[in-house]
Structure 1
C-alpha cells in the first residue's frame, strides 16, 4: 500500500480546506499558533508512521521464522 493511499481524497476534506484557507486576515500570533498546531500534527503523524513501520517489521520477523 502506498502512503498516499491514506490521504484524504475529497476536495472538502480538512486538509484540502486547510491548504486553501486565506492567511491574509490572520495576525502574526494567529499564524504562529497555526504553525505550532501544524508542527504538533507533523510530530503526531511521524509517530504514527514510526509505529506502523515497527509493527510491520515485527510481523514480518514473526512470520519469517
Structure 2
C-alpha cells in the first residue's frame, strides 16, 4: 500500500483575484502566505522528526 493512498484527497487551492487588490492588500496577503508557509514547514519538520524517531526505534 502506498502512503499517498492514506492521505486525504487534496482540494485545489482557490486563487484570489489579485487585480482588485491594492498594493497594501497585496503586501498583507503575501505576509499571510509567508506565515502559512512557515507553519507548513514547521509541520513538515515535526513529521520528519517523528518519522525519524520511529524508523530509528524499529531498525534496532
TM-score range, shorter chain: 0.7 to 0.9
Q: Deviations over 1:16-59 (max 9, x none)?
A: 21x2x211111000000000000000000001001101100000
Q: 2:19 is matched with which residue?
A: 24
Stretches of structure 2 that go unaligned for 5 or more consecutive residues are: none
- Number of residues of Structure 1 aligned to a counterpart in Structure 2: 56
TM-score scaled to structure 1, two decimals? 0.74
Q: 1:34 aligns with which of 20, 29, 32?
A: 29
Specify the SS of the correspondent of 2:20: coil
TM-score by length of 2: 0.79
Segments of structure 1 that go 5 or more residues without pairing to the other structure are none
- Displaced runs of 4+ in structure 1, greater than 6 A? none
Aligned to 1:48: 43
CA RMSD of aligned residues (A): 1.7
